[in-house]
Amino acid sequence: MSPWELVFWLCVALLVYAQLGYPLLLAVLARLRRRRSAAPAPADPPTVSLIVPAYDEEAVIAAKVSNARALDYPRDRLEIVVAGDGCTDATVAEAQRAGADLVLDLPRGGKIRAQDSAVARAGGEIVAFSDANATWEPDALTRLVAAFADPDVGYACGQVRFVNDGGSNQEGLYWRYEMALRALESRLGSITAGNGAIYATRRESYIEVDPIMGHDLSFPFNMVKRGWRAVYVPAARATEKMVPSIEGEFTRKRRMMSHTWPIVLRGGLLSPRGYPPLYALMIASHRALRYAAPFLHVGALVASVALLGEGAVYAVAFALQVALLAAALLAPRFELRPLLVARYYVLTTTSVAAGLWDWLRHGTPAGWEPAQGTR
């Protein structure tokens, strides 16, 4: 086998395994493993502090506080905390007016430091977190907190569903695939990533991380390294407005990946120390290979070009890759679902490499701006 053939088949095999083989492996393992029996709920529910970090969210913060106050969790055991991160608008005043129990007017330090400050001031045994533009279903907090009846659980995230107001973003298709993987990972042990719209930790399991490293990725694997489980609770549901366009989703994911790469390369994600063997396989399959995807695609494309004339399989592979790129380019002119899905896949895969470039070139700021069209 020539070097180019080795590159081609290795790249293709890893891409196919990451997208199709890994889900099938999880499904087989889940069928073989007995389900965990649910731990009995405590007689008295734990006290909870629901923390909402907010930067210039005056348009939505009152509705968020109202949504939190309407949750069916016992009101005397729920503390609603809004952590204003150097707001330049009326976010703090609106949160106070809407009835938040504790409103912090903090200097600008970024989302993570706002959350850290809120946890230090909060009184709950469980600290839950939500985005300012996320709407929780009435029973979401009760279902989320129920996961902590299991003493091994240190982190739990719920299910966020994206609402599309007539845009052309294909995030919902990807997200359903991602949630299916998350459910299987949770059943087998622990998830490899969460989401910022609806999640919670025990107070004693909360971790202060580098302010450029978001909780979504850094919390689950760090919980596992510390002996906790990180689980997915699909019955705890929230909704969040989707970025309207595929191009906007590219920008959002590019920004997210500029926060992700520091976690991957220097935050401990790739270090197997502290991982059970199955979880190490999950991290390698779902995280490392996912982030390697743009480079694997480039490797497969270059190798297929180098191998043209060496066999029909390489010509077909080259043609399929060109067709994918052509479909992505045609999608803005012909808004057909297959073309839009192709464009979504190409742009979001490219965003992984773009985020790495941004981080290496000029670093990643701790502060953040709401994604355009999500408020």
Question: Is residue 100 domain-resident?
Answer: yes
Counted domains in the chain: 1
Residue-number span of the structural domain to which 147 is assigned: 48-244
Question: Is residue 94 domain-resident?
Answer: yes
Place of tokens 């609770």: 233
Question: Is residue 164 domain-resident?
Answer: yes
Question: Is residue 165 domain-resident?
Answer: yes
- Rounded CA-CA distance 349/253 in Å is 9
Question: Is residue 102 domain-resident?
Answer: yes
Question: Is residue 145 domain-resident?
Answer: yes
- Rounded CA-CA distance 349/364 in Å is 19
Question: Is residue 140 domain-resident?
Answer: yes
Work out the mean pLDDT of the chain and round it to a whole number: 92
- CATH number of the CATH domain containing 220: 3.90.550.10
Q: Which amino acid is at 331?
A: A
Q: Which of 179-183, 256-260, 325-329, 361-365 has the lowest mean pLDDT?
A: 361-365
Q: H or E element: which one contains 88?
A: none
Question: Is residue 368's pLDDT more than 90?
Answer: no
Q: For residue 48, which phi and psi values (nearest 5 degrees)? A: -130, 135
pLDDT digits (tens, 9 = 90+) for 82-138: 999 999 999 999 999 999 999 999 999 999 999 999 999 999 999 999 999 999 999
Torsion angle of the four alpha carbons 280, 285, 288, 291, in this order, in degrees rounded to the nearest 10: -160
State the DSSP code for 165: S
| Sign (positive or negative) of CA dihedral 363, 367, 372, 373 | positive
pLDDT digits (tens, 9 = 90+) for 2-20: 999 999 999 999 999 999 9
Question: Is residue 352 domain-resident?
Answer: no
Provide the token pair at 24.
Answer: 């099938």
